[in-house]
Every structure is written in C-alpha cells, then in structure tokens.
Amino acid sequence: MQVIQVAISVPMPQLFDYKIDMLDVSNAAVADSGDDALIGCRVLVPFGPRKCVGIVLRVGVESEYEITKIKSVLEVLDSSPVCSEQMLQLGKWMSEYYHYPIGEVLHTLLPAALRKQQSGKTKPSVATESYLQLTPASSAHEEVDELLARSAKQFDLYRMLEKGPLRVSIIKQQFTPAIIKALTEKNLIEKIELVEKVNDWKAELSIAEKPVPNVEQAMAISTINLANSFDTMLIEGVTGSGKTEVYLQIIEPLLAAGKQVLILVPEIGLTPQTVGRFEKRFGIRVGTLHSNLNDTERLQVWQQAKEGRLGIIIGTRSSIFTEMKNPGMIIVDEEHDESFKQQDNLKYHARDIAVYRARQLNIPLVLGSATPSLESLHNALEKKYRHILLPNRAGSAAMPAQRLMNIKGQPMQYGIAQGMIDKMQVQLNAGNQVMVFVNRRGYAPALLCHQCGHVENCERCDNPMTVHKSANNLQCHRCADIRHLPKNCPACGHDELDTFGIGTEQLQQGLESLFPDFSTVRVDSDTVRGKGKLSKLLKDINQKKYQILVGTQILSKGHHFPDVTLVLILNVDSALFSADFRAPEKLAQLITQLSGRAGRSDKVGEMWLQTHCPEHPLLQDLINNGFSDFARYALLERKHACLPPHEHQICIRSESHHKHLSVHFLQLCAQLFTQFKYIKVLGPFPAFIEKRQGRYRNLLIIQSASRKYLQQATEQANKALSEMPVSKQVRWSIDVSPIDFS
C-alpha cells in the first residue's frame, strides 16, 4: 500500500502516513503533474479527534501499518508547494541541529496564516495594495487645523498624507487603527487600492545622491562586491563608522542586476527611519516584516518576496525564513543582538540560519556590528569569515571619550554622583541632550518595611516584586504577576514602607527635581509599549522636545541621537561579578553601544560610567583600549577556560513544581551523557532564575570540543530521554548553543 508521509505540528519526531487518491485531488495543477508535485504542499488531515494542516514530505512510500488503520487526506490545500525544496532541506537540517520535531520546525518556517487550521487555497498573491490618501473633500476643510487641534496624532498623519498617498503597512508602524478610523470618519482620508505592477521595482530603481565613501568604506565595499558566491563577511565597525552606508552601497549593484536582498535587524531597530533610509536611496518600496503586522500582511510580504516582487526586505528574527525568487545577499545588522536568538520553543539563532541559507543559496552573507559576538569574531580571526574593519567614524564625527567615575564614598543623589550632576548641568546649559542609563524599569526593585524588614516577594518566583509608582502597583518581572501597592506592611501593619534601589521611574522623578528647567523623558519597555510609541519618542527626542533621556537597554539599540553629548551609565557593577561567563561580553557590548549614542554629529561626546570598582581589569581594558581589544582578550580567556566559542555547548533545562523532580530528571540526563566519548557534563545546577511561576528551574550543560560528537550524543540521549517515564513529569527542552542561562 503506497501512502504519503506528512509532517504535522505536534511534539513528536516522526512523519505520519496518509492515503491519498490522486483522482480525488481537485487541484488540477497537482493532479496533472503527478504525486511528486505534492511534496511541499499543505494537506488537511484527520489527526486524532482534530483536523490538522500538515506538509507533505514524501510520496509513494510503502507503509508499515495495516491499511485499514491509515486515514485519508481530507483536502490538498495548495496548487503549488508552499515549502520549496530548499525550505524543506532547511527544515530537515534545523530539526536535526536543534533536536526538534520536523513538523514543528516546518510550521515555524511558514507565515502564521499558512499554519492555521484553515482549508482554502493559498491566495494568489495580491496584485493591489492598500494606500491611504487625503479625500478630495479634505482640501475644502479650511479649518483642518482646528478640527484636529485636539489630536496631535491625527494631525501628524494628516500632515504626512499631504505629501501624497502612503502604504497602509508603512502607516501602521506609526499609527493605530483608531487614528486611521477617526480621520476616515471625519472624511479627511480614504483608503484606495493601487495596482502594483509585477517586478516594477526594477524599473523604479533610481539611486539618490550618496556620500563618497571614505577609504575604509571603499575598501569594504570593493571587497564585498567581489564576492559573488557564498562567503561570510564580518564588518567590525565602531558605532557611527558608516556600516549602514556600506550596506547601501554594496547592495546597489545587486539591485541593479535585479537581485533581491534580505536585511535582518534587531527587534527594536526596525523603525520607519531605518526603512526610510533604504527607500530614499533606491526609490523603491521596501518590504518589512515585524511583529506589528497581522497574519495577512505578513503573508503578503512573504509571497511578494517569494515571487521576486520586492527588491529589499527588512525584517526581524523570523524573516530569515523569507524565500526569495532571485536572492542576491543576506545582511545581518547588529549581529550580536540577542533578539536574533529565539528563547522559547524552537530555540534557533537567526545568524546560524543565515549562514546555512547563504550557503544553500550560494550568495554572500554580511554580518555587521560595532560589538561583534565573540562567536563571529572567533570565526573571523580563524579566517572562516572574511574580516572587514571600520575603525573610525565616518564623516567628521569623533568617537566619544569614555571615562570611569569612581563613586566610592561619594555623595549621591538618586544614584547619581554630585560630580556627574555638575557635568550634566554644563551640557544642558549649553543646549545639548544628556542620556542616563539604568538597567531597571519601574520605581524601585523592592518594597521594604522600615519597621520589620519585610520585603514583599512574589511567592511563585521567590523574588522581590518591583515597585511601579506610575501604575501604582507591584510587579513581578519574572512572571508578570501584578499586585496592589500596599499602604501598610503586609507583615507587621506599620505604614513606614520604604523602597530599595533605583529604577527608571524614580530616576526620572529625581532628574526632574534636580533639573526643573529641562524636560525629561523615559524610554523603557513600559513607555514604548504600543504601536508607534518608540518611533514617536525617538522623533520627539531628535526634535529636542526633551533634554534628558532616562532609559534601559532600549536606548542602546542603534538609534541616532545627534544632540546627545553626555551618556551616563549607572549601576552595572553587579555584571562584573556574575556567574554567567557571558556577562562581561554583554556588559562590554552594552557600554560600547550606549557610548556610541553620543557625539554623532559635529559635537564631541562623552560617556561616563559610575562604578565602585574602577580598578577592575575588564573596565580598564574596555575604557582604555576599546571593545575590539577587550573582545580579543576575552576570546583568549575563553580559550583558556575551554568555553564557547572554543568549545560547544548544549543546555538541557527542566522545570517542575517539585524541585527534586526537576533535579532528578537532569541527573538521569547526566548519567546518559557521561557514557559518551569527548563529552563533558556540568551540573545539574539551578538556573539564574531559580523559580518562576511556582516551577523550580534547573539546567545541565553538556560540552564538547567537537560539535559532531556533541550532536551525535545529544541525538541519542534525546531518543533515550523521550522514552523515560520521568520525561513526561517535567517540562524539559534542549537548547543548542545557549546564550542565556536564566
């Protein structure tokens, strides 16, 4: 009995057999070209009591099962494969490399709209696109200004559209549907569908004026342009060295030859400004893939890329799975960014996938960063990657000076040393902007009773709750649990509640009282939540509505703040003593990226790091010799300690409401792994976040100098583990090349 084998998104590694009668296949295209044409198509199949969408991987297979037990396919959903042969190949590789069920992997590769349990054919790609434009009636409204006076957002959108119609997908990055609806109801704007000509980006391509590259950029550009087959290149260029300008110039000849380019950026880096820079240079529209798109919009970009109707696609992590009809290059900007690694479910790293795909497509891959990951730097120094250096800032801007401020015994206000307050005053008086970084959002990391010493904890996570004054509550930053902010101590009833430590809210308040003549803005995940909030804040900052910027990591991510001349970093000493071997690397990246926000124009910038440990060798090395020196030294240290990237790791995590179960499972894992050659087993030990939502979390690190041996051992252990009863009693996962041990 011949059957087809289907990959279904369930946590089981095998394929599933189904009967199919080709005469029943209503899709003429598939039926005509025979069984093989089914490979990569989606089918709707019965699975237990459910109907599931599956992907056909094999046809004409002899089934090992009894024919009466095999069910029939309900419907073939596609007339041509949604998964090309290359994507199927990628899926199989990922399934082996990440030890993850093939069905779940393949479903991760597809846009959500195609994963859904819906029948219906894949829509032929949409040939029109929605735009918004001003209505003819709008010009008759002389009092538009007045009409919109009370809604700044509506007014902003109206103004934007005065210049001409704009694509809805672009507008949505910055404006909510409510704003669009409000203006539509006032009869000021309307939606129109504009027909998009196939491949017309090639005709539209026109190169705007561009700067003459400096010597280093010119060398980078010519080196990269010489590569016309698979080759990985790492651009290590200091902040503001003109990496983006290099990207713009290297893709120019590719676009001119009709080739497509995929550019990956960190989650927080996909702003209208970034997209605008590419659209302006080439006069074509750029396809964007980001988390604010709905399933249909995402599918549309995916299809347009696949059909070759987009020249440039810019997207976040999962856009690495975009197919291109005529691929020319993949670029991963800020390649060190942790958002490229998916931390749950399928724990893939988009940079690793990028290497696989570029090899598969035989096209160049460009990785760029001011603070490259030690993994990529190692590959570059080992000559596996081509190494391109941009050691100076482009144009006339100078690198900011970096300095340490010894705060031992210093008088402090709101966590800021008096000396720094004076420096801030000088810059503010001179009309410049100042940026203050603290790694905690909220008002304070703990609520403490002055009378009895009680600290309010989240019991499910055994962790102090963070005080949020603006939301007037307590929040657990591990499980997101929210509790009312008590007036009296829950333990002794006294009303002398105090807070401990400093977060962004308190810092903002403090700065407002220290500098009442200047306005302060807070940029953290609380204030940028919501569509277009971040880009609005960035715009307001660049228009100098605010002089003092307070924020968390978000501030470090690639934005340009030309008027910031002073960057102040508070409270990062704890990273110097972390048990995480990556903590120094992460700290150095953070400090370098933050300091890179300063002095971007002709103004000279300064970065000050407050510390209790000014003599610490890591800080000394970083401040005096810069990131590139620090990173090379850190690599050497990793080598002596036999740590990644010199050796390879996988991490097995287990979680359970019962501590002993979580540990017991990992002890069994450890026993399994110790049987293998060339394998080191470390642990089990508690995760950095030991308890979350009532679950105890532990991990086991398996390490080897040989990736091959590690891979084989993990594969065998994974099989054995899945068959052990205890594996059903804990939540467990395998993380290949882990970067986070929380």
Site of interaction with ligand ADP (CB under 6 A): 211-214, 217, 237, 239-245, 394-395
Out of ligand ADP, Zn ion, none, what residue 478 binds, judged by CB under 5 to 8 A for its kind, is Zn ion
Chain Cα centroid distance, residue 487: 39
Question: Which among 147-155, 215-223, 407-415, 481-489 is the span making contact with Zn ion, rule CB under 5 A?
Answer: 481-489
User: What distance in Å separates the CA atoms of residue 330 and residue 356, rounded to the nearest whole number?
Assistant: 11
Note whether 460 binds Zn ion by CB under 5 A: yes
Q: Please say which residue, 614 or 626, places its beta carbon nearer to ligand ADP.
A: 626
Out of Zn ion, ligand ADP, none, what residue 130 binds, judged by CB under 5 to 8 A for its kind, is none
Among residues 478, 586, 600, 664, the one that binds Zn ion under rule CB under 5 A = 478
Chain Cα centroid distance, residue 387: 24
What is the H or E stretch that residue 523 is in? strand 520-523
Out of ligand ADP, Zn ion, none, what residue 481 binds, judged by CB under 5 to 8 A for its kind, is Zn ion
8 A C-beta contact, residue 520 and residue 550:
yes
Q: Please say which residue, 94 or 394, places its beta carbon nearer to ligand ADP.
A: 394
Which DSSP string do the residues of 33-62 spell out, in sequence order? T-GGGGTT-EEEEEETTEEEEEEEEEEEEE
Q: Please say which residue, 217 or 504, places its beta carbon nearer to ligand ADP.
A: 217
Nearest to 264 by CA among 468, 558, 31, 490: 558
User: What distance in Å separates the CA atoms of residue 266 and residue 337, rounded to the nearest whole number?
Assistant: 6
Q: Please say which residue, 473 or 601, places its beta carbon nearer to ligand ADP.
A: 601
8 A C-beta contact, residue 258 and residue 251:
no
Out of ligand ADP, Zn ion, none, what residue 211 binds, judged by CB under 5 to 8 A for its kind, is ligand ADP
Out of Zn ion, ligand ADP, none, what residue 23 binds, judged by CB under 5 to 8 A for its kind, is none
Out of Zn ion, ligand ADP, none, what residue 215 binds, judged by CB under 5 to 8 A for its kind, is none
Note whether 476 binds Zn ion by CB under 5 A: yes
Nearest to 93 by CA among 711, 737, 645: 711
Which stretches does DSSP call E strand in 321-371? 327-333, 364-369
**3-state DSSP helix/strand/coil % of the chain, to nearest 5:** 35, 25, 40
Note whether 365 binds Zn ion by CB under 5 A: no
Note whether 336 binds Zn ion by CB under 5 A: no
The amino acid present at 454, given as its one-letter code, is H
Question: Which among 450-458, 646-654, 720-728, 734-742 is the span making contact with Zn ion, rule CB under 5 A?
Answer: 450-458
Out of ligand ADP, Zn ion, none, what residue 281 binds, judged by CB under 5 to 8 A for its kind, is none
Q: Please say which residue, 59 or 219, places its beta carbon nearer to ligand ADP.
A: 219
Note whether 465 binds Zn ion by CB under 5 A: no
Note whether 690 binds Zn ion by CB under 5 A: no
Out of Zn ion, ligand ADP, none, what residue 237 binds, judged by CB under 5 to 8 A for its kind, is ligand ADP
Note whether 469 binds Zn ion by CB under 5 A: no
Within 8 A by CB and 6+ apart from 534, the residues are 268, 271, 523, 528, 554
b/e sequence 427-450, b meaning 16+ C-beta within 10 Å: bbeeebbbbbbbbbbbbbbbbbbe
Which stretches does DSSP call E strand in 99-145? 128-134
Q: Which two tokens stand for residue 236?
A: 């290590």
Q: How far is the CB of 474 from Zn ion (least distance, A)?
A: 10
Tell me the β-bridge partners of 567: 435, 607
Q: What is the DSSP letter of 324?
A: -
Note whether 474 binds Zn ion by CB under 5 A: no
Q: Please say which residue, 138 or 239, places its beta carbon nearer to ligand ADP.
A: 239
Strands of the 260-264 sheet, one edge to the other: 286-289, 312-315, 260-264, 327-333, 364-369, 231-237, 386-390
Among residues 388, 461, 564, 631, the one that binds Zn ion under rule CB under 5 A = 461
Out of Zn ion, ligand ADP, none, what residue 458 binds, judged by CB under 5 to 8 A for its kind, is Zn ion
Note whether 479 binds Zn ion by CB under 5 A: yes
Q: Please say which residue, 334 or 735, places its beta carbon nearer to ligand ADP.
A: 334
The amino acid present at 452, given as its one-letter code, is C
Q: How far is the CB of 461 from Zn ion (least distance, A)?
A: 3
Q: How far is the CB of 370 from ligand ADP (least distance, A)?
A: 7
Out of ligand ADP, Zn ion, none, what residue 214 binds, judged by CB under 5 to 8 A for its kind, is ligand ADP
Note whether 481 binds Zn ion by CB under 5 A: yes
Q: How far is the CB of 336 from Zn ion (least distance, A)?
A: 30
Out of ligand ADP, Zn ion, none, what residue 244 binds, judged by CB under 5 to 8 A for its kind, is ligand ADP
Q: How far is the CB of 396 from ligand ADP (least distance, A)?
A: 8
Note whether 635 binds Zn ion by CB under 5 A: no
The amino acid present at 530, given as its one-letter code, is G
Q: Look at the block and give the residue holding tokens 């068959």.
A: 723
Q: Please say which residue, 584 or 596, places its beta carbon nearer to ligand ADP.
A: 596
User: What distance in Å separates the CA atoms of residue 313 and residue 303, rounded to the nearest whole number?
Assistant: 12
Within 8 A by CB and 6+ apart from 552, the residues are 437, 438, 439, 440, 441, 504, 523, 524, 525
Q: Please say which residue, 28 or 215, places its beta carbon nearer to ligand ADP.
A: 215
Residues at the contact surface with Zn ion, assessed by CB under 5 A: 458, 460-461, 476, 478-479, 481
